[in-house]
Amino acid sequence: MAEENQDAAAPQPGNAPSMNLVGQYIRDLSFENPGAPGSILAGGGNPAFNVSISVGVKKQTDELYAVELNLKAKANREETVLFNVELVYGGVFRMKNIPEAQLSTLLMVECPRLIFPFARQVLASVTQQGGFPPLMMEPVDFMAIYRQNLAALAAKQQDGAPADAEVKPN
């Protein structure tokens, strides 16, 4: 009889929460090497890098979401631009039976964490093929970014300003 009670409490296979990566893609990729070939031949000090990352989510169907990383990296040596690269790298995720309270965190933290290594590899490869050492981005703490966005949204709403950016998926 104890076995019957355990079976009744176990989630049914069709109702268990699940998150699956359906596929990955590059939506946009731009690499500029404005000083080539001079930028490759010229020596000099170490370049300064400016790197930014943002996450966007678009609902495709009831279960499918497109999660996109927008990565931008620019390298300068003094006033000269060595390279400028922009990448929009995405993944399509199937979410089944995910509680609404957990959906936003999964889409804005866990999904980007899964696809980031692949986007990072694309950046490293394209900068190397552009004639520079591969750009290896440091790991990103997507939870910290998510919390900062939530705090900024809360502060904006507390000040009475309209909420331009929502943290919830579209």
The stretch 90-111 carries a mean pLDDT of 94
Look up the pTM and report it.
0.79
Q: Does 169 have pLDDT greater than 50?
A: no
pLDDT at 161: 53
Q: Which two tokens stand for residue 140?
A: 């990103």
Q: Does 18 have pLDDT greater than 70?
A: yes
User: Which ranges in 30-141 belong to alpha helices (H)?
Assistant: 38-41, 100-105, 111-129
Domain residues for the domain of 117 are 21-139
At 80, is the pLDDT very low, low, confident or very high (cuts 50, 70, 90)?
confident
Give the orientation angle of helix 111-129 with respect to helix 142-158, to 10 degrees.
110
At 13, is the pLDDT very low, low, confident or very high (cuts 50, 70, 90)?
low
89 is a domain residue: yes
Q: Does 93 have pLDDT greater than 90?
A: yes
Report the range of poorest mean pLDDT among 42-46, 81-85, 156-160. Answer: 42-46
Cα torsion at 28, 109, 115, 124 (round to 10°)?
70
16 is a domain residue: no
Q: Does 141 have pLDDT greater than 90?
A: yes
pLDDT at 14: 66
Number of domains the chain contains? 1
The stretch 78-84 carries a mean pLDDT of 89
82 and 148 in contact (C-beta within 8 Å)?
Answer: no
CA atoms within 13 A on the CB side of 3: 0
Q: Does 73 have pLDDT greater than 80?
A: yes
At 164, is the pLDDT very low, low, confident or very high (cuts 50, 70, 90)?
very low
- The CATH number of the domain holding residue 47 is 3.10.420.10
The stretch 54-67 carries a mean pLDDT of 95
Q: Which residue has the higher pLDDT, 46 or 2?
A: 46
What are the tens digits of pLDDT across the range 22-54?
Answer: 999 999 999 999 988 887 776 667 788 899 999
Sign of CA dihedral 100, 27, 33, 43: positive
96 and 17 in contact (C-beta within 8 Å)?
Answer: yes
Which contiguous run of DSSP H or E holds residue 90? strand 80-96
95 is a domain residue: yes
